[in-house]
Structure 1
């Protein structure tokens, strides 16, 4: 995708359903870092990866025997982390479509997320158990249990919260901190290196269901069961969150199934949990007002994800379909030249002093010859990446997946190779 060709005046949020992706019963979906691939977890334990440009299936991964609870992309886009209720987490190598690591826990896995900087570190939330930090960088699986309570300064074992269970988790922008949300509404911060809790505060009286950061890592979204979406701001990476906005539906008092930020972080979107509605609410984060309500089919909304670059949304319905929301493009065939604009009313035009002067033919020829001497480079590719939020480019980053043949295609290729070899041997014998 050439970012220079994108329309700068394009609408900032989608309006209509552009396409429907149907492949099994999808429960959740996530985009990769560039938005070129879309991964979905299915009810039958499969993980499907679609090429977002062609909408074709790039990988069909079989490894779980129970529904997928969450999927997460690694930083370089080569690995996919799938968490399931069968007590297992699988790290998939998408280049070969095989399992890289399979980790079994002592309880069903609620969600798992990759480290934003390290492709071999991720955190896992277990049902009624303490969260776990997993490191597979050395080829061996190392587990570190994370604290669920904050000890007193004397270190005598006294705790602030001893009955809370972690329900949601996410890394900070650089991965140096881990944010957890508990069943009793406590928001906590854990240092990734020391694995100790450095801050904890009760922000609501209900369960925190979801946590996520925007692209810049300055705003934290908290989705709780009290029907309120809270946005916390961080002045710096080392600062603690402070509440800035609250979003809710005061009329219908809807419960929010899933929520996230837009690609540029200017909007907050959330999907309602009503059984007969597939509505997506869009708020302006700065002003705090409701901008748009996207009304879809009469199906329950289970999950949603905003495209990391373009104003597009992928939403998962209760029937297992993935709907792609995009902007409403209006074609205008009245513009024939790049600098042509259609006027709605008469305008006064002030001409330049030499705009309509008669230029001799010799001078015109000299100008054309001068323009021909200008060197135009058509081979050098400018590295334009304004959406990169990292310290540098990752040389191992995978944007698109190579085509992978199934068993029937491999057998057909092998048969064709054997046929060509036998024909060559006959020619040599003759």
Structure 2
């Protein structure tokens, strides 16, 4: 494990502005910069050294504790932004400890929304659910059904009673995680109900390999699933009616990722190998049948999207070796004029990214910022905003094909941590929603847990 305070690349704003060390005031920065500062800076009265004189950020924990005890903020306790300012200085970069080691590539690793569970999915069809607060003991060992190639994604329901898993097949399976059975072998010890996203009810006419699902997510109310597929489409499945609700022919190539924009569940974000991020309003699909807008800027396919949760901002990981930050209020109404000529025959699954393309920019780049340094090769590597509770979403983080985990400062673009432990690709990683803890999964078969020393 190594650390670096060196800036990998300054984030370039729309209009050519640069986020640098002089941007602490937030003047001229996008709205997200102001929001992030408000959520991760201490109360102004806690920064006072003496009347009329304030200490420069970051404020030491000792001074903040002294200010709290002296009740400088007149609140008798830390605010949420005080807490974020303290906890965001102590990143989960030490260790790690090995939680599990399998003879199979690990593709998925995610904490549950309350942080009590950790889900890991492996290529050989194992899905393990660990009890985080019970010394990471295996709560449920799921042996997947009808697996093709690998577990591509998993998702826990909001109440954590059910888990769905997908592979390169139109069938998504659902498992009861609350049952007493620890060893859940599909249709041997437990039933793994199959949800057919192809819309076929008759097995005689069903092609199990018609298309594959790269990404599947529960809605925030647990009533629906949304999925991204290799047939260029987005699917929404109604779990209450147990039927496919809608199929959206969304892109011109594989849709690798899809997610809900916020808790309301009306807005969807999607990303595809056609290089585009798209925004969808489900309330308009019946009348318009098309996207609300398009975000252009990536030069290669998009591997993953994570929403900021406010219905405005998102980040995307791209095969052009970059993460981009977006504001959907800057999206375009269509893709005309945004097509790029194919300049080089390149396949990310087995080739290195051409060095002469690394710093090129899309002529119609609508992103707010770009983060570089990690590598996106061979698999659909994921990226995320850091937790709101403990960091105020001050950072973004990602796995990498060079076996590292990268943590960037959202506002400056600085690489604040580069974690080295795994021997092979880190496809997925997950920051605990409340604790300074980060779980990672790698193609070396290791599930690791990083913490503050």
Quickly name the TM-score band, shorter chain normalised.
0.5 to 0.7
Tell whether the 8 Å contact from 1:107 to 1:129 is kept in structure 2 after alignment. Answer: no
Deviation at 1:242, TM superposition (A): 6.1
Q: Tell me which of 347, 368, 376 is aligned to 1:244.
A: 368
Deviation at 1:14, TM superposition (A): 1.3
Q: Tell me which of 192, 201, 224 is aligned to 1:121.
A: 224
What is the alpha-carbon distance in structure 1 between the residues aligned to residue 101 and residue 173 of structure 2? 21
Deviation at 1:215, TM superposition (A): 4.7
Structure 1 match to 2:408: 283
Structure 2 match to 1:254: 375
Deviation at 1:135, TM superposition (A): 0.6
Deviation at 1:164, TM superposition (A): 3.4
Aligned length: 302
Structure 1 match to 2:399: 271
Tell whether the 8 Å contact from 1:28 to 1:41 is kept in structure 2 after alignment. Answer: yes
Structure 2 match to 1:63: 144
Q: Tell me which of 161, 172, 190 is aligned to 2:261.
A: 172
Tell whether the 8 Å contact from 1:46 to 1:61 is kept in structure 2 after alignment. Answer: yes
Structure 1 match to 2:250: 148
**Unaligned 5+ runs, structure 1:** 150-162, 329-430
Q: Tell me which of 291, 295, 317 is aligned to 1:223.
A: 317
What is the alpha-carbon distance in structure 2 between the residues aligned to residue 313 and residue 29 of structure 1? 10
Three-state SS of the structure 1 residue aligned to 2:222 is: coil
Structure 1 match to 2:161: 78
Deviation at 1:218, TM superposition (A): 4.4
Q: Tell me which of 205, 208, 212 is aligned to 2:306.
A: 212
**Unaligned 5+ runs, structure 2:** 1-77, 182-189, 199-209, 335-364
Q: Provide Cα deviations, 1:305-345, integer angstroms capped at 9, x if missing partner.
A: 111112211111212111101111xxxxxxxxxxxxxxxxx
Deviation at 1:284, TM superposition (A): 0.9
Structure 2 match to 1:31: 111
What is the alpha-carbon distance in structure 2 between the residues aligned to residue 255 and residue 107 of structure 1? 23
Higher RCO structure (Cα 8 Å, ≥6 apart): 2
Tell whether the 8 Å contact from 1:80 to 1:94 is kept in structure 2 after alignment. Answer: yes
Q: Tell me which of 75, 87, 97 is aligned to 1:19.
A: 97
Q: Tell me which of 210, 227, 234 is aligned to 1:131.
A: 234
Report which of the two structures shows the higher radius of gyration computed on alpha carbons. 1
RMSD value over aligned CA atoms?
2.8
Name the CA shift for 1:219/1:309 in 2 (closer, same or farther; >3 Å). Answer: farther
Give the TM-score taking structure 2 as reference length: 0.61
What is the alpha-carbon distance in structure 2 between the residues aligned to residue 231 and residue 208 of structure 1? 13
Give the TM-score taking structure 1 as reference length: 0.64
What is the alpha-carbon distance in structure 2 between the residues aligned to residue 100 and residue 193 of structure 1? 32
Tell whether the 8 Å contact from 1:263 to 1:311 is kept in structure 2 after alignment. Answer: no
